[in-house]
Chains A and B, each alone.
Chain A
Amino acid sequence: MINYRVIALIRRELREKLLSKAFLLMTILLPVLMFGIFGVQTFIMSFDSEKNIIEIVSSSNDIALNLQSIIAESHFVKDSTIIPIISHMGKSKFDEYIKTKEDDLLNEKITGIIFIPESALIDKKIQYYSRTPKNLRLLERIDNPINQVLIEKYFKSKNIPVEELKYARLSVDISSFKISKGEEIKEEGYGNLILSYLFSFLLYLSLIMMGSMVMQTVIQEKSNRIVEVLLSSVTSKELMIGKILGAAITGLLQMIIWISPVILVASTTLFVLPENLTIDITFIQVAYLLFNFFLGLLIFVGLFATVGSIFEDPQDAQSGMWPVMLLVMIPFFISMSMIENPTNPVASIASMAPFAAVIVMPAKMAMVDVPLWQVLFSTLVNILTVIAIFPIAGKIYRVGIMMTGKKPSWIEVIKWLKYKY
């Protein structure tokens, strides 16, 4: 199957792809870009309306005074992201007051006005008036101190010591421990979750990128008529294998470059990660991930190459590749859904189903302990998928690349399978 002709084809693909600007750009820029986006996000958030003037009006003087002292301690006041103005007045007076402040609210001179009525001590219901009342970040920050004041005020009459109140106010803090067979029980952080998210994303990106890259070159060879020269020297099977292996090797190399920093961080003590971000990954897992990715490349690059062979015009191909795109996208979304619930039954089935297994299984493995038989089974499914689709894809490719003229319909493509070529 692999002879000097295939090797020559692979070498040409590698030379063309590895030295292409697109490859260098994606391989180096993507990580930079991803961290860049995080950076930009943090940067934008730091801007977040430095002059948020919030008026807090309480109908009770007591509450107003308590608020004053507690809010002064809050970090958002110290950071000066929120400037609180606290006052007290009765409900009827407030109703008039809010009317006089209407202009200020509309011009955003004041971001919002919070009114704490007397009844809040019974039902904890308070009111917020603003031009943009759904500013969750802002409200999230301010509702805590208000709650605290209300609780203190409420329990003061009940003669409960402050320490006990403190306890009551604490929320539950869950430490997660992962139980694994034959291993010590250890506390699990978010490291693997992030890793799984990251890897799924890279897998998805790389499959689509490599796939459409190959699709483009197939279309190009077809429309440039190079394919006829090539076919006078190599068989269509050799051409397809050369193309797919060329792209798979390129993709694998790219993935290794992408994940090596992660592996480095996980396997050495050079970098100290916060305790709840430790990554728990073994060398065998990395090897499995790469092997699984390689199989994925074979499957999806093969499918993309087949789609490319059907069309002569890149635009037709764009619209013709949706079935393949769905095969990549649906499993990707299933993987993402696992972040909410790793034992999601749909994900369990998908992790062993043809096409989806490539994408779902690695994500699942990072989050739950998958029995070995399932991992092996899913790998077997992937290998069988490769074996099953190649004769079909090869046949379509064989007929397709020499077919010029009218854009074929899907029914015609199915008929090609019966052609003798």
Chain B
Amino acid sequence: MGLLEVKNISKSFGNLKAVDNASFSVPEGSIFGLLGRNGAGKTTTIRMMMNIYLPDSGEVTFGGIDAGPDFNSKVGYLPEERGLYKKMKVLETLLFFAEIKGKKGRNVTKLAKEYLKKFDLADRMNSKIETLSKGNQQKVQFISTLLHDPEVLILDELFSGLDPINTNLMKNIILELKERGKIILFSTHVMSFAEKMCDHIAIIDSGIIKLNGPLADIKAERSQRNISLNYKGDISFLRNNSMIENISDHGNSVGIRVKEEKHIQELLKLLVNSDVEVNKFDANDISLEDIFIETVGQEVAEEVKYD
């Protein structure tokens, strides 16, 4: 076990610089979120970590040792584009993927059956993959990333296409693995998941890491003079107010930055006096969504919101 480090990796495809000198590190027992829009370079970064692409420059190390085939066998990897052998049976599939990671035997079979039970798939054990629904196939693939008891989990767009119950199930398993000291890295463009789960984040845009560090620190740094507000009513009058530096509207909540510390109390007073129903008023708090938009630019606000 140890630190998972990505040091100055770059990758170009022809003239396109997909990843440009990216560095970040993930300590053991933590959850890391690699955030970015579509095409920002998340998947390329992850593929380089998995040795699927060879970086043009830079390196990936785990516990100080260069990541190679041995590292790969300690990783559970869920690619963004899922894929299973359609004609293989569920249990057979799971055992095969464990076997190429070097794990086989009665214990693995037992564990596989336990996981299938947990995900409500025990009765489909001997069904062919092609007879399963997409969601169930997704679950089988997720189990296959866990079965060999990996030290590192790398999950590309983990939650895409899952219903809330299964999302929750996976979330709990991930948190449980974190408790056991595993490293979990996932990429997403859904900020709400990342905000709830991540200890560390990196924001990547156009192949460049724009922001990187513990989520709590990043938030603390940016939450000065920032208010996270839930409300009912009309706040359009704030737009031209002299104490407001910036407003970002996220639908049911809004992020407001004031120019000076003392303006926070004045803003609350103003809202109450203007008959706005204040449901939540968090001073010195900022949502990850606000941080993301601030980092990668306002023009992507719409895209992120509706994803």
| Partner-B contacts on A (CB < 8 A) | 4-5, 8-9, 11-12, 16, 221, 224-235, 402, 420-421
**What are the 8 A-B residue pairs with the smallest beta carbon separation, nearest first?**
A225-B83, A232-B77, A226-B83, A8-B99, A225-B81, A228-B79, A233-B100, A224-B83
For this complex, 30 residue pairs linking A to B, each with C-beta atoms less than 8 Å apart, are A4-B102, A8-B96, A8-B99, A8-B100, A9-B100, A11-B99, A16-B87, A16-B88, A224-B84, A225-B79, A225-B82, A226-B84, A226-B85, A228-B47, A228-B79, A228-B83, A229-B84, A229-B97, A231-B50, A232-B50, A232-B51, A232-B77, A233-B73, A233-B77, A233-B97, A233-B100, A233-B101, A234-B100, A402-B52, A420-B56
Report the separation of the CA atoms of residues A232 and B47 in the bound assembly, to the nearest whole angstrom: 8
Contacts of B101 in A (CB 8 A): 233
How far is the CB of B60 from the nearest CB of chain A, in Å? Answer: 13
CA distance A12 to B96 in the complex (A): 8
Query: Inside 8 A of B82's CB, which chain A residues have their CB?
Result: 225, 229
B69 within 8 A of A: yes
**Cβ contact of A224, chosen from B53, B54, B86, cutoff 8 A:** B86
Alpha-carbon distance A16/B84, docked complex (angstroms): 14
Q: Which residues of B contact A226 (CB under 8 A)?
A: 83-85
Do residues A421 and B54 form an inter-chain contact, with CB atoms below 8 A? yes
Decide if A5 touches B100 in the complex (CB within 8 Å).
Answer: yes
Asked if B75 is at the interface (CB within 8 A of a chain A CB), the reply is yes
Q: Given A228-B79, A402-B52, are A233 and B72 neighbors across the interface (CB < 8 Å)?
A: yes
Closest to A20 in B: B87
Contacts of A221 in B (CB 8 A): 83
Give the interface residue-count category, chain B: 20 to 34
Q: What is the interface of chain B mostly: helix, strand, loop, or mixed? A: loop
Report how far A16 CA is from B51 CA in the complex, Å.
27
Nearest-CB distance from A312 to chain B (Å)? 13
Give B44 Cβ to nearest chain A Cβ, in Å: 11
Interface contact A420-B79, CB-CB below 8 Å: no
Q: Known contacts A12-B96, A235-B69: does B52 contact A228 (CB below 8 Å)? A: yes
Docked-complex contact A228 and B81, CB < 8 angstroms: yes
In angstroms, Cα B75 to Cα A221, docked, is 21
Given contacts A4-B102, A420-B56, A421-B54, contact A227 B83 (CB under 8 A): yes
A232→B52 contact, CB < 8 A: yes
Instruction: Select the residue from A5, A232, A420 with max chain B CB neighbours within 10 A.
Output: A232
Residues on the A chain within 8 Å of B75, using CB: 232
Q: A9-B100, A233-B77 are in contact. List 6 more A-B contacts (CB 8 A).
A: A5-B102, A8-B100, A224-B83, A225-B81, A228-B47, A230-B100
Cα-based distance from A227 to B47 in the complex (angstroms):
12
Q: Which of A9, A12, A16, A231 contacts B52 (CB 8 A)?
A: A231
Residue of B nearest to A232 (CB): B77
| Residue from B50, B56, B99, B144 whose CB has the most chain A CB atoms within 10 Å | B99
* Chain B residues, Cβ within 8 Å of A4: 99, 102
The distance from the CB of A221 to the nearest CB of chain B, in whole angstroms, is 8
- Report which residue of A226, A227, A402 has the largest number of chain B beta carbons within 10 angstroms of its beta carbon: A226
Measured in the bound complex, the distance between the Cα atoms of B79 and A231 in whole Å is 10
Report the minimum CB–CB distance from A228 to chain B (whole Å). 4
Q: From B81, which residue of chain A is reached at the shortest CB distance?
A: A225
Within 8 A of A (CB), among B9-62: 47, 50-54, 56
A32 to B215, CA, bound (A): 70
* A9 CA to B99 CA, complexed, in Å: 9
Contact A229 B83, CB 8 Å, known A9-B100, A235-B69: yes
Q: Smallest CB–CB gap between A111 and chain B, Å?
A: 57
In Å, the complex CA distance between A235 and B52 comes to 8
Residues of chain A contacted by B88 (CB below 8 angstroms): 16
CB <8 Å contact, B77 and A229: yes
Complex: A235 Cα to B50 Cα, angstroms:
10
Partner of B53, one of A5, A8, A225, A421: A421
Q: How far is the CB of A415 from chain B (nearest CB, A)?
A: 10
Are B50 and A420 in contact, CB atoms less than 8 angstroms apart?
no
* Cα-based distance from A221 to B81 in the complex (angstroms): 12
Instruction: Give the Cβ gap from B42 to chain A, nearest Cβ, in Å.
Output: 14
A15 nearest CB neighbor, chain B only: B92
Distance between B139 CB and nearest chain A CB, rounded to angstroms? 15
Q: What does the 1/0 interface line of B81-119 toward A look like (CB < 8 Å)?
A: 111111110000000110111100000000000000000
B72 adjacent to A229 (CB under 8 Å): no
A308 to chain B minimum Cβ distance, whole angstroms, is 16
Q: Which A residue's beta carbon lies closest to that of B84?
A: A226
Q: Bound state CA distance, A225 and B141, in angstroms?
A: 12
Cα A234 to Cα B82 in complex, Å, equals: 17
The CA-CA distance from A270 to B81 in the complex, in Å, is 60
User: In whole Å, how far is A258's beta carbon from the nearest beta carbon of chain B?
Assistant: 26
